[in-house]
Structure 1
Amino acid sequence: MGHEGMRAGDSDRQKVADQLKAALDEGRLDLSEYDDRVQRAYAARTYGDLDGLLDDLPGTIPVEKSQVVPHEGVSGPVEKPASKHQGRSGFPGMLAVFVVCTLVWAMSSLGSGELQYFWPGWVLIPVVFAFFAQFGKRRH
């Protein structure tokens, strides 16, 4: 018996349905076509029944049918290059946002002729946390 004649399991059907949902979300399938394919996926009894449901969608070709050969030179996980912002504190930017908010509050208070509620105080809370986070990094 070939692979196409083997019984598909619930996880196989769910995997195909998840890939079809991703294709719908990306706009590769319209709702009618998605509905038809999902019904066929959940009704599939064998791998042969599942074949063809994903063939015309990018990134969903089974490995055995793929024309891309995996690279043999990499052993272990590939590390991402360090970001240029890695290890930086957000304190200066957050402080700038607080200053801008305070200026807006001051101009609106001057414009109304009376002292308004100091709402930039709420913006100050994360600024204080960022300050202490930056201070704690420098001590170590």
Structure 2
Amino acid sequence: MAATPDMRASDGDRDRVAAALREHVAEGRLSVEEFNERLEQLYRSRTYGELATLTADLPEMDLHRLPAAAKADPPPPARRNKARTAVKVAWATWASAVAVNWVVWLIIGITGGHFVYPWPLWVMGPWGTVLLVGTVFGTIGQSRPRR
């Protein structure tokens, strides 16, 4: 069924017109002030005819093929897997270093006849805390912009 000017417009139709207006601003056909005025009128509009008047003085754009809104794409699976792998490697490295320290402490305690202060805690604690914070807040494995 073809849309007539007196037919009611949907929220999706309004979003498509808003996207078209944003495109016209990006291309320099509308100023920001004009865009804001038309946007206010857009969300008060109820019919296709009212929507058409907002873009009547602009070049024709197929509003049904224009994306309604730019949505942020989720990170690609390879990037997520890379971050997970980085977290696993960081924790495995921590566990290996802590294990080696505890083994050294245990050997010293057994061969010396008495166990000394558990100094591997000073390796395990701060490093583990930093890893835990990085894992919880997702900063491990994230790429940083180069300068």
Structure 2 length normalisation: TM-score? 0.38
Structure 1 length normalisation: TM-score? 0.40
- Structure with the bigger RCO (C-alpha within 8 Å, sep 6+) is 2
